[in-house]
Amino acid sequence: MFSDKKKIKMNIKLRDGIILLALALTCLGFWIRLEYPHLAVINLSVDKQKAYEKAEEYLKNYGITPGKYSKAIIFGYDKNIDRYLQHALGKEAEEEFLKAHDCDLFFWKIRFFKELQKEEYIVYISPGNGKVLGFRHLIEDVQARPDPGKDSAKKLAGEYLQKEAGVDLKDFDFHHEEIKRFENRIEYIFSWEKKGVYFPWKEGQGGSKLLAGATVSGNEVREFYKNELELPDEFLRYMENQLVLGTYIYSVYFCLFLILLVFAVYTVLNKRSSVAVTIVKKWYYYVAAFLVLINIADVFNNFQSINMSYPSSVVMSSFLGLYFATTLLSIGFLAFGFLLPGIAGESLSVETLAGNKYCGFLHYIKSSFLNRSLTYSIIMGYVVWIIVLGVQALVFFYGQRFLGVWREWYGLSQFSSSFFPLLGAFVVAITASFSEEIIFRLFGITLLKKYLHNTVLAIMLAAIVWGLGHTTYAIFPVWFRVLEISIIGLIYGFIFLRFGLAVLIVAHYLFDVFWSSAAYIFGTTTSNLFFTSLGLLFIPLGLAVIAYLFNRSAVEKEMSVSLNRAQKYNLEILVNFVLLKKAKGINAGIIKKELLDNGWDYILVNLAIEQVFVGQAGSF
């Protein structure tokens, strides 16, 4: 007789935990030394509502009624200036330059517009002190304006910059003037360059100057800006080349991802009646539905960004309809890309990783999530997260020092524009941690291990493919992004095989949500954003506490209990077959190999062998 339940052994040994904890503390020291200072200088004291109020006040001062317009607000930063200064000066020197010259890398952009009308107002507000950084008034090309003359227009522009924008033109030399003729008006464009500020790109390829400027149309300063870098053409061409290269590398990744997806479809179709697929598929349906729902919620959460991108030349309803249709298709593809590799990975892990029940969710589904084994896995996830942060800090440190690497504030600008900034961070982190670890670790490593018969090579190839998918943003040169992510992928691959999937998903979630909210935690910001950011980091810990307190019995139901009618029938056939083979003196290993070579389900074969050869079946 066999018991209905099987005890689950902890997959984390005390010795391993102590070693990793010591490594985590060392890596935390690296991160504090190398990364923390760059986050501490960020000032986000002016929140979205205050920025709105500053922009409306600015417009009212010039007789404009903001209430007559639709509004949109997003948080952004000047990517090209950040890229150039990091490359030309280095990160520390960039921060000193921005502070010395009162330059704002970040800004709130507030748009006041009307549907089907070109005229609109755009105001840029500093998130650090609430000052107006720039302004644009868009008007129809055919709109008539009186001609003030070049000299009067230049005087008007200079006085405006000094009185309204706070630019001291004594520190500037005249830089450029341009006359632009429209059908019914003439506009004058002037700029001044700050004295003693020049950063060369490369010898003989130009450099960067710090400018302030204004556009005069009739008796109005229609546009102004201050403390803006004029970038050399060679740098802009270089950046264009890097972005194209990143897109090209990503296209290679996408082709490889489609190949993985084809293998996933084939595996699911081929094993659709297997025991593992039968047990796990419902759980994966639920997770996929959850990912779809939170991503749809995040679309509405980012409605400000949608509004900002709306071209006022088209009907708003048509624009929104097209946007939501394409977005829903993308979300559907995301769910498809998670669901099939997940189910396929579970069935493959039963075969290729038979000795490690923690490499998938099958054993949790057969037992319980709320036990202390999960608690320990979550705690280990925090340890792995800190280790990866330290490793990444070292990789960046040497990349910036020896390879001219620089990076961008992608997450900060992306999430700050949302209605609920940290909801966006949560959605991205939870989606990436589940989908990417399922695709590249659970499915990718098991698939490659099955066909290559080499665990190390499987981990390496999965890590590289994963790295190729991160080349369209954040890190330059783009090839370094592949290197950085591949190194993290190697660590994740080891963690996956040694400690299981739950540890890895927690570590990945924490990594993504941390970098999405780190500026709110370590920079100057509102108390709401600060505490909400901390809350996101404590979500897994809350689950760990719940699992620890519930402490449901960490036992696993016998696999035969989960079989459907057809599987029980097949098991009976297999048991009779194994009995006949055993009677002929054939050992369990040979019988098992013969059955698996003929396509029988791995779990059913093990159950049959176990029933006939008690204790000889091995783990499944």
**Tokens of residue 351, six digits:** 């075969």
Residues 6+ apart with CB under 8 A from 433: 505, 506, 508, 509, 512
Q: How far apart are CA 318 and CA 339, in angstroms?
A: 32
Task: Assess whether 149 and 210 both reside in one domain.
Answer: yes
Per the structure, the count of domains in the chain is 3
Which is nearest to 438 in space by CA: 372, 344, 351? Answer: 344
Q: Tokens 């030309």 belong to which residue?
A: 88
In a domain, 11, yes or no: no
Task: Assess whether 324 and 462 both reside in one domain.
Answer: yes
Count of C-beta atoms within a 10 Å radius of residue 168: 10
The contacts found for 157-160 with CB under 8 angstroms, 24 or more apart, are 157/188, 157/190, 157/213, 157/214, 157/215, 157/216, 157/221, 157/224, 158/190, 158/192, 160/214, 160/221, 160/224
**Tokens of residue 597, six digits:** 């070579």
The whole domain housing 571 covers 560-612
pLDDT-derived band at 3, boundaries 50, 70, 90: very low
In a domain, 245, yes or no: no
Residue 270 — φ and ψ, nearest 5°?
Answer: -70, -30
Q: How far apart are CA 191 and CA 177, in angstroms?
A: 7
Calculate Rg over the CA atoms of the chain.
30
In a domain, 93, yes or no: yes
Task: Assess whether 366 and 419 both reside in one domain.
Answer: yes
Q: How far apart are CA 415 and CA 297, in angstroms?
A: 14
In a domain, 241, yes or no: no
Most distant CA atoms of the chain, gap in Å: 108
Task: Assess whether 512 and 597 both reside in one domain.
Answer: no
In a domain, 430, yes or no: yes
Q: How far apart are CA 166 and CA 185, in angstroms?
A: 28
* 380-403 per-position pLDDT tens digit: 999 999 999 999 999 999 998 888
pLDDT-derived band at 475, boundaries 50, 70, 90: confident
Evaluate if residue 431 carries a pLDDT over 90. yes
* CB-count burial class (<10 Å; 0-12, 13-18, 19+) for 116: exposed
Task: Assess whether 94 and 231 both reside in one domain.
Answer: yes
Evaluate if residue 2 carries a pLDDT over 60. no
Q: What pLDDT, on the 0 to 100 scale, is given for residue 618? A: 45
Task: Assess whether 259 and 294 both reside in one domain.
Answer: yes
In a domain, 13, yes or no: no
Task: Assess whether 223 and 289 both reside in one domain.
Answer: no
Domain boundary among the residues 534, 552, 570 is at 552
In a domain, 533, yes or no: yes
CA 102 to chain centre: 31
Which is nearest to 527 in space by CA: 39, 47, 35, 38? Answer: 47
Q: How far apart are CA 469 and CA 475, in angstroms?
A: 12
Query: What pTM, to 2 d.p., does this model score?
Result: 0.92
At 55, is the secondary structure helix, strand, or coil? helix
In a domain, 383, yes or no: yes
pLDDT-derived band at 280, boundaries 50, 70, 90: very high
Stretch 310-336: mean pLDDT: 95
Highest mean pLDDT pick, 341-345, 582-586, 609-613, 615-619: 341-345
Q: How far apart are CA 545 and CA 547, in angstroms?
A: 5
Task: Assess whether 415 and 497 both reside in one domain.
Answer: yes
* 99-156 per-position pLDDT tens digit: 888 888 899 999 999 999 999 999 999 999 999 999 999 999 999 999 999 999 999 9
User: What are the b/e assignments for 458-486, b being 16+ CB within 10 Å?
Assistant: bbbbbbbbbbbbbbebbbbbbbbbbbbbb
Task: Assess whether 289 and 402 both reside in one domain.
Answer: yes
Task: Assess whether 384 and 483 both reside in one domain.
Answer: yes
Highest mean pLDDT pick, 74-78, 86-90, 264-268, 551-555: 264-268
Task: Assess whether 219 and 256 both reside in one domain.
Answer: no
Q: What pLDDT, on the 0 to 100 scale, is given for residue 421? A: 82
Q: Tokens 């008539």 belong to which residue?
A: 144
Q: How far apart are CA 372 and CA 77, in angstroms?
A: 44
Report the interhelical angle of 501-522 vs 527-550 (nearest 10°).
160
Task: Assess whether 575 and 538 both reside in one domain.
Answer: no
84 residue type, one letter: Y
